[in-house]
Amino acid sequence: MNIKEVADRAGLPAKTIRYYEEIGLIRPLRGANGYRAFRESDLHKLAFLARARGLGFTIEECRRLLALYEDRGRASADVKALAEAHLDDMERKIAELRAMQATLRDLVAGCAGDQRPDCPILAGLAEGTAAGRGGTKPCH
Amino acid sequence: MNIKEVADRAGLPAKTIRYYEEIGLIRPLRGANGYRAFRESDLHKLAFLARARGLGFTIEECRRLLALYEDRGRASADVKALAEAHLDDMERKIAELRAMQATLRDLVAGCAGDQRPDCPILAGLAEGTAAGRGGTKPCH
DNA sequence: GCTTGACCTTCCCGTGACAGGAAGGATTAG
DNA sequence: CTAATCCTTCCTGTCACGGGAAGGTCAAGC
């Protein structure tokens, strides 16, 4: 299989597949012409990666998941721990987003949204009376 | 004021302040020694930026907010539109995270989490029976 | 045989919003 | 005078790729 076919079948851009090879997530063979020659097993791994990425796992988490997937002697506890840590990450992100949303919604609620310049949103950002609460760090 | 003092007062790292200057968000003066000389107005802008970033606005959104903030002839409708667009962005992100969470939670629920290798999480990622639903794109 | 178009390859730069650190100059306290 | 703390610029790295250039390969059709 050439890269376009695996890309279509795995649902990943060819660029992404080349990148995954570069960082060692997959190791496709090479044909005499220099083209990558993907086996069924490569396709499986790529589909696996596409789904794991789709669930928000980072590349490094995907790498560990893939290693566990290929390790017949794995303990499911290890997989579960990884998944639960990721669930916690998502929970934290959601909480952070909700906190930001709540603050901003309060500001928006007080804004007339007309032609006049008076704006509690800008006032809130300028004075900090309502913005940035809840231990929300600048970002990162 | 030197950079350290504004950094402490605005609650931003000095690195970030230099970066904000580099991309044109602020334009502090310069002393004879080459040091940045921050005015009160620069400090205000930086505090404004810190709060806007804390609410999740991107740098470009912050740039527009700052422009509106400084425009005495602004219409509050423009500010409100920007804020509401951002609220929508956050809503979408939350929905995406929740969808991923729900899928992963289903997989985790079926996993024994013991010493045995059998794992519905890995099976789900491999077979795609439950992962990646709801139009969730690989990421981005 | 030749061309056309669709593939494939590598390589390099750009993204967003900074962080880390090196190398060197300025200022201040003791 | 020295030591500590500040300040400066510049370069590299992050994360997960995307865009595009320059050039090689392959299959189909004339």
Instruction: Give A71-124 pLDDT, tens digit per residue.
Output: 999 999 999 999 999 999 999 999 999 999 999 999 999 999 999 999 999 999
CA distance A133 to B54: 9
| Tens digits of residue pLDDT in B1-29 | 999 999 999 999 999 999 999 999 999 99
* A12: nt with nearest C1' to CA: D17
Q: Which residues of A touch B123 (CB under 8 A)?
A: none
Q: Is strand C within 7 Å of residue A138 (CB)?
A: yes
Residue A137 has pLDDT above 70, yes or no: no
3-state helix, strand and coil shares in percent for chain B, rounded to the nearest 5: 60, 5, 35
pLDDT at A140: 39
Q: Are A68 and B122 in contact (CB under 8 A)?
A: yes
| Tens digits of residue pLDDT in A27-56 | 999 999 999 999 999 999 999 999 999 999
What are the structure tokens assigned to A132, written together?
A: 């940035």
Q: Which residues of B touch A54 (CB under 8 A)?
A: 100, 131-132, 136-139
pLDDT at B129: 66
| Tens digits of residue pLDDT in A3-19 | 999 999 999 999 999 99
pLDDT at A21: 97
Residue B135 has pLDDT above 70, yes or no: no
User: Who wins on pLDDT, A22 or B136?
Assistant: A22
CATH number of B3-56: 1.10.1660.10
Which of A93, A97, A101, A140 lies closest to B16, judged by CA?
A140
Q: What percent of chain B has pLDDT over 70?
A: 91
**Mean pLDDT, range B36-55, rounded to an integer:** 97
Q: Using the 8-state DSSP alphabet, how is residue B13 labeled?
A: -
Which of B138, B140, B12, B5 lies closest to A12, judged by CA?
B138
* B31 burial level (CB within 10 Å; 0-12, 13-18, 19+): exposed
CA distance A54 to B134: 10
Q: Do B75 and A138 touch (CB under 8 A)?
A: no
Q: Name the strand (E) or helix (H) holding B8.
A: helix B3-10
For tokens 């789709």, the residue is A54
For tokens 């959601």, the residue is A94
Q: Do B76 and A128 touch (CB under 8 A)?
A: no
Note the helical H segments in A23-135.
40-54, 59-70, 76-109, 120-127
Is B9 in CB contact (< 8 Å) with chain A?
no
Q: Is strand C within 7 Å of residue A5 (CB)?
A: yes
Count how many residues are written for chain B: 140
Q: Are A107 and A98 in contact (CB under 8 A)?
A: no
pLDDT at B130: 53
User: Going by CATH, does the domain composed of A3-55 fall within 1.10.1660.10?
Assistant: yes
> Which residues have a Cβ under 8 Å from the Cβ of B100 and sit 6 or more positions away?
A54, A55, A56, A90, B136
Q: Is strand C within 7 Å of residue A130 (CB)?
A: no
pLDDT at B128: 73
Is B87 in CB contact (< 8 Å) with chain A?
yes
CA dihedral of residues A127, B38, B5, A103 (deg, nearest 10): 20
pLDDT at A130: 53
pLDDT at B21: 97
| Tens digits of residue pLDDT in A53-66 | 999 999 999 999 99
Mapping DSSP to helix (H, G, I), strand (E, B) and coil, where does residue B120 land? helix
Q: Which residues of A touch B118 (CB under 8 A)?
A: 76
Shortest CA gap A32–chain B (Å): 31
pLDDT at B92: 95
> Which residues have a Cβ under 8 Å from the Cβ of A31 and sit 6 or more positions away?
A37
pLDDT at A62: 97
Q: Tell me, in Å, how far CA of A28 is from C1' of C15?
A: 28
pLDDT at A128: 74
Which of A128, A137, A121 lies closest to B53, judged by CA?
A137
The angle, 0 to 180 degrees and rounded to 10, between the axes of the packed helices B120-127 and B76-109 is 120
| Tens digits of residue pLDDT in B77-131 | 999 999 999 999 999 999 999 999 999 999 999 999 999 999 999 999 998 765 4
CA distance A7 to A50: 10
